[in-house]
Amino acid sequence: MDSKKYNRTKLTVGIIETVLSFVLIFLFVKSGLNSRLEELIRIYSQNDYLVFLFFILIMGIGSSVLFPPLSFYSSYFLEHKYKLSNQSLLKWVWESFKTVAVSSVIATPILLAFYYSILHYGTNWWLPFAAVLFLFSVILARVVPVYILPLFYKLIPIENESLKNRITQLADEAGIKVENIFKFDMSKNTKKANAAFTGIGRSKRILLGDTLLDNFSEDEIETVIAHELGHYKNKHIIKNIIYGTITSFLTLFVVSIFYSDSIFWFNLKSIEQIAALPLLVLWLMVIGLVQTPLGNILSRKYEYEADQYAIQATQKSSVFIATLEKLNKQNLGDPEPHPFIEWYFYSHPSIAKRTNAILKVEKTLNSIQASNTLF
């Protein structure tokens, strides 16, 4: 099946990229090139913050030389091979450049906050930095839908009044006031379809890809939106912020211990030394091996809960199942991945498992309705 080959190849490339990143950073530290790079930069500047930023910049340039072939293969060649992409090579380069530029603007103050924390708080650097990350996560949740997403997609209020009324009614029933329902030009990049409920506070908005609007009926789109609203109704956005905050504090605390204990393995002087910072990245990658499946278990739980809300809100379980299967086919998802692959890597349950769960919920709801009719 094309879907299995496609997903297997994407996963393989991702694993290769991760392993290669780890190995190269390890060799960079083990060989002493990290210390030599810091010494070279300090010839031109003694300002710690400038040295830090140039150190990161040079590492980024090195990465941009080594990893584009993998990125090109995964996000351009494969997407075209399986007829999923609408991008020309020039557009792919431009979108990649924009992603790097925007990511750099967002990452720079975070990196400076990190370096400030490690310079001024020593081994307790993890605590103020985790607090900064929490603050940034809240700010980004408000800023991304309004200011950043439009840099990549054209957002237009949907014109279909019938569909808009359905969505508004669903939102009202969920206790959500949503005035912003937009279509975005997803088709400029891909043939895949998607929708999202994003933002917090006044930045809340429902986003519908034009590929979804053009290929799915109003009933089908209604079930998709009900699922997205289910995330809000079940407070998944808030729970994710809380989970992310707790995880961030714990992760940085654990990493700080390993980082402090291991710098002398590589003949480094102190945790504040700029040349030692790549070692911290290695520990973050190791901890990430444990965090990935745990985060995905929680994410899949939320998806099941949102599915349950969708069928309760719309009473259209058969339509919802058909829509999920249609989306999976259009997006070339693997309907039944290997159990371990799904457990470790998948943030969403497979379609087969989601369908079974929906049928069980439908059976339970029908039993409850039958009981209520009897009494």
70, 17 Cβ separation under 8 angstroms: yes
Question: Residue 67 carries which DSSP code?
Answer: S
C-alpha distances out from residue 330 to 39, 95, 190, 209, 350, Å: 52, 22, 11, 13, 15
Residues 6+ apart with CB under 8 A from 91: 188, 189
What is the reported pLDDT for 284?
93
Q: Which residues pair with 195 in a beta bridge?
A: 208
Q: Which ranges of 174-276 would DSSP assign to H, the alpha helix? A: 210-215, 218-233, 236-262
What is the reported pLDDT for 242?
86
Give the pLDDT means over successive 10-residue stretches in the chain (375 positions): 88 92 92 92 91 92 81 92 93 92 92 94 93 89 88 90 88 80 92 84 84 92 92 86 89 93 88 92 92 94 94 90 93 91 94 92 72 55
Residue found under tokens 């569909």: 163
What is the reported pLDDT for 252?
93
What is the reported pLDDT for 192?
93
What is the reported pLDDT for 224?
92
pTM attached to this predicted model: 0.86
Pair of tokens at residue 326: 């249609």
What is the reported pLDDT for 197?
79
What is the reported pLDDT for 281?
92
118, 272 Cβ separation under 8 angstroms: yes
Q: Where are the domains of the chain?
A: 2-374
Chain-centroid distance, C-alpha 199: 14
> What is the rounded distance in angstroms from the CA atom of residue 24 to the CA atom of residue 81?
30
Residue found under tokens 């790549």: 278
What is the reported pLDDT for 372?
59
243, 24 Cβ separation under 8 angstroms: no
Strands 155-157 and 195-198: unpaired
User: Which segments of the chain are extended strands (E)?
Assistant: 155-157, 181-184, 195-198, 205-209
Residues 6+ apart with CB under 8 A from 174: 229, 230, 232, 233, 309, 313
272, 119 Cβ separation under 8 angstroms: yes
Long-range contacts from 27-31, C-beta under 8 angstroms, 24+ separation:
28/59, 28/278, 29/266, 29/278, 29/279, 29/282, 30/266
Quick one: how many helices (H) and strands (E) in the chain? 15, 4
